[in-house]
Amino acid sequence: MASFKALLTTEQADGRFESNVVERSTDDLPTGEVLIRVAYSSLNYKDALSATGNRGVTRQFPHTPGIDAAGTVSESSVAEFAVGDEVIVTGYDLGMNTAGGFGQYIRVPAAWVIRRPAGLSLRDAMILGTAGLTAALCVDKLEQAGLEPGEAPVLVTGATGGVGSIAVALLASLGYKVAAVTGKSSQADFLRRLGAQEVVERSALQAGVEKPILKEQWAGAVDTVGGDILFNVVKSLRRGASVACCGLTAGTSFQANVLPFILRGVNLLGVDSVEIPLVVKASMWDKLSLQWKVPNLADLVQEVTLDELPGAIERILAGGQVGRTLVRLD
């Protein structure tokens, strides 16, 4: 048994949710084959939903959020992992209804655990985290649907956010021309430094919702926001192009009509990074450690401690996220 620090979200008598750093014991953790001393976690939009009581993400409180964790195996009851192995866990139930990476220890099923790829440090793995994995899955799906570098730009929405900023950096490093959509015009230089050739005001993607189809522009798109913006993206894809849909910050529902599909043969591709088979996650992590290594991770990260997390959670919920927030669990 070890005691450790964790962020604990509790429901107050008045129905509000509060998150505080508390001492916990490894005895409080769920059963599982692998106990991991967490070195780094990261903040994702979903963590902020969990930390503020969103029952669609977390049913029962008190709870420790954190859908990402990277660290060292401390105990293992399976042959695949030995004490001292460096490992990564993202998604499945971690941080949802299983105590997550905003604690210095997690205990999880071995079936959730990936060995750290040689080409990535634990820290770099968590700068990427679920956001990086999701961005990579989006690019992979777009390429499987025929996307390749060319003259026309690939659009990324929610571009300053976690998934968006890594998608911009990854696509640019793979030779794509990237058009980055943002509501933060003050961050245009940030997006250009990540490799965006063009920065598009979010309002431009919100106009023309009433039109059945729009001018053909994008060779492909990574959409992290949903809502009317996704509708407009579908209507402005070039012939045969695809949009990878992974997020909902602008809304969970969106309008649609069949014209872009039947006149231009466009594709709407869904991306889930949470419940996909472990081998698929592992192959994406291998790619992110080798041929898809994102070059400018240092430019898109800010680091926080557990004590600083509540402020970062407020910022991400308010749509103010820029790049990735790494959580240091020392």
Residues that bind ligand NDP (CB under 6 A): 44-46, 130-131, 134, 158-164, 182-184, 202, 224-225, 229, 246-250, 271-274, 316, 319, 321
Q: How far, in Å, CA of 111 to CA of 117, rounded?
A: 17
| C-alpha to C-alpha distances, 228 to 120, 158, 258, nearest whole angstrom | 37, 13, 15
Q: Rounded to 5 degrees, what angle do the CA atoms 74, 79, 80 make?
A: 80
Which of 219/229 has CB closer to ligand NDP? 229
Smaller CB separation from ligand NDP, 29 or 137 = 137
Min dist. Cβ of residue 93 to ligand NDP (A): 14
Of 49 and 87, nearer to ligand NDP (C-beta) is 49
Q: Which is nearer to ligand NDP, 143 or 314 (CB)?
A: 314
| Minimum distance from residue 191 beta carbon to ligand NDP (Å) | 8
In whole angstroms, give the CA distance from residue 166 to residue 14: 39
Among residues 176, 134, 125, the alpha carbon closest in space to that of 158 is found at: 134
The answer to whether 180 touches 167, Cβ cutoff 8 Å, is: no
What is the distance between the alpha carbons of residues 248 and 243, in angstroms, rounded to a whole number? 14
Minimum distance from residue 18 beta carbon to ligand NDP (Å): 21
Taking CB atoms, the residue at the shortest distance from ligand NDP is 161
Measured CA to CA, the distance from residue 25 to residue 5 in angstroms comes to 9
| Nearer Cβ to ligand NDP (29/194) | 194
**Is the CB of residue 219 less than 8 Å from the CB of residue 196?**
no
How near is the Cβ of 324 to ligand NDP at its closest, in Å? 8
CB closer to ligand NDP, 46 vs 107: 46
Looking at residue 102, its amino acid is F
Shortest distance, CB of residue 30 to ligand NDP, whole angstroms?
Answer: 22
- SS3 of the chain: helix, strand, coil, percent, to 5: 30, 30, 40
Query: What single-letter amino acid sits at 251?
Result: G
- Measured from the CB atom, is 182 or 289 closer to ligand NDP? 182
In the complex, least distance from residue 136 CB atom to ligand NDP, rounded to whole angstroms: 11
**Rounded distance between C-alpha atoms, residue 184 and residue 152, angstroms:** 23
Interatomic CA distance for residues 38 and 23, integer angstroms: 15
> CB 166 → ligand NDP: shortest distance, Å?
8
d(CA 229, CA 249): 10
